[in-house]
Amino acid sequence: MNTFGNLFKVSIFGESHGTSVGIIIDGSPAGVPLHEDDLLPDLKRRQSGKTGTTPRREADLPQIISGTFNGLTTGAPITIVFRNSNTRSRDYAEFTEIPRPGHADFTALKKYGGFSDYRGGGHFSGRLTLGLVSAGVLAKKLVAPIEISARLIEVYGEQDIQAAVQRAVEQEDSIGGIIECTATNVPVGLGEPFFGSVESQLAHMAFSIPAVKGIEFGTGFRAATMTGSEHNDNLLSPDGKTETNHAGGINGGISNGNDIVFRVVVKPTSSTSQPQRTLNLKTGKLTTLKIKGRHDTCIALRVPVILEAATAIVLADLCMLEQRIPRVWRDR
C-alpha cells in the first residue's frame, strides 16, 4: 500500500519523529546522472521557513544509500534516506487520548490498535513527502522535454497570497489554498482508457499528498455549467493542438498533445492555535484542546513542489509504459 507505479515505482517509508524517512525508486533506467546535490533545490522549495510555515527546521539532507555508482543510476533500486533530528516528541503524547480535530490521530489509533507511532504524525506526517520530492527530481529528468510547474494561485479565497497569509499568522489560525499544476510539451498518447487514465493516475497520486481534498482537470467543476459546444476543444493542427483547453490536455483518459492542466485544493492545516472542542477518549468527556507545538499556518505554500514531483512520477511511469524512456539512458 506504500508503493505506487507500474514501471517507475516509488515506495515510501518512515516516521516524522523516528530514525528517518525515505523512499525507494525501482525501475529507473541505468545511466542517469543523480547526485545528492541534485535533490537540494527542490527539497529547499519544500522546506519551511517562510512566513506562514512551521518553525520546525530540519536539515533535510538526503543520503542515497543504493542504486547509484559513480554518480549515475545503475538500474537497481535507488534508496534515499533522510535522518530526522529536530524532533520534540513530548508535544504529541496527549493526542492518543485527546485526538486533534481534523488530524489522523483518531483514525490511526483505531486502525492500528494503538500501536502506530503517534509522534509528529508518525508515518502520516507530511515529512514523508521528502521522498516524493526526491523521486520527483529524478522523474523530471526522465520525462524531459516535458516540463512541470505548479504554483499556489489562491489562499483563503484571495489571490493576494502574501496578504492573506500575513493576516492568518496574526489571527493564529491556519488557511487553505488552491494550487495549479501545468505540464507542457506532453506527447500525444500517454495514459489509457478507464483505470489507466491520466486523470486516474494523477488523482491517485495527488490525493496521496496530505491535505489535498479535491482535484479538477481543465475547466473542471465549471464544466457543469457549460454546453458541449462550449466545452469541446476544436482541433487546430495535426499534432493535436486545440483552440481552447477545457479538457486539460486529456481526452478519453489519454494525453492529447496540449498542456495537462489541473488544480488541487489544499485544506487548511488541521493544527491551529485556536482552541477546539474534541473528545477525551479516556474520560469519555468533551473537552477543549489548545494545540501547542509548531505548525504551518498555510501548508499550501509548501505543496507546489510536492505536486510537481507527484506529477513527474506519474508521467515518468506513463512515458515508460509508452516506451518513451529507454532502459539505458545513453541510448537517448
Amino acid letter, 250: I
Q: Pattern of binders to a second copy over 83-112, x per CB under 8 A?
A: ----------------xxxxxx-xxx-xxx
Residue 254 carries which side chain, given as an amino acid letter?
I
Nearest to 301 by CA among 109, 76, 157, 150: 150
Q: Which of residues 11-30 bind a second copy (CB under 8 A)?
A: 11-15, 18-22, 24, 26-27, 30
Measured CA to CA, the distance from residue 295 to residue 247 in angstroms comes to: 37
The count of other CB atoms within 10 Å of the CB of residue 174 is 25
**Coil, strand or helix at 293:** coil
The smaller minimum CB distance to a second copy, of residues 47 and 125, is found at 125
Nearer to a second copy, 43 or 203 (CB): 203
CA dihedral 40, 43, 44, 46 (to 10 degrees): 170
Question: Residues 6 or more apart from 107 whose CB is under 8 A from it?
Answer: none
Q: Is 76 near a second copy (CB under 8 A)?
A: yes
Answer whether 152's CB lies under 8 Å from 178's CB: yes
Please say whether the beta carbons of 321 and 158 come within 8 A: no
Torsion of CA 34, 37, 41, 43, to 10 degrees: 90
- Nearer to a second copy by Cβ, of 74 and 184: the residue is 74
* Phi and psi torsions of 204, nearest 5°: -55, -45
Residues 50-69 that bind a second copy (CB under 8 A): 63-67, 69
Told to check if 139 binds a second copy by CB under 8 A, we report no
Which range in 37-45, 52-60, 141-149, 226-234 contacts a second copy by CB under 8 A?
Answer: 226-234
Considering only the stretches 42-50, 52-60, 134-142, 267-275, report the one whose residues sit in contact with a second copy under the rule CB under 8 A. Answer: 267-275
CA distance 280 to 287: 6
Residues belonging to the chain: 332
Letters for 145-174 (x = contact with a second copy by CB under 8 A, - = none) are ---------xxxx----------x--x-xx
Choice between 64 and 312, CB closer to a second copy? 64
d(CA 239, CA 255): 12
Which of 37, 90, 170, 227 is close enough to bind a second copy by CB under 8 A? 227
Site residues (CB under 8 A) for a second copy, limited to 279-298? 279, 281, 284, 286
In the complex with a second copy, which residue's Cβ is closer, 41 or 89? 89
Q: Which of residues 40 and 279 has its CB atom nearest to a second copy in the complex?
A: 279
Give 30's DSSP letter: B
How far apart are CB 125 and a second copy at their closest, in Å? 9
**79: contact with a second copy by CB under 8 A:** yes
- Environment class of 209 (CB within 10 Å of its CB; exposed 0-12, middle 13-18, buried 19+): buried
Task: Single out the segment in contact with a second copy by CB under 8 A; choices: 45-53, 142-150, 195-203, 301-309.
Answer: 195-203
Closest approach, Cβ 205 to a second copy, in A, equals: 7
Q: What cell does 105 get?
A: 490521530
Applying CB under 8 A, among 36, 40, 56, 77 the residue interacting with a second copy is 77
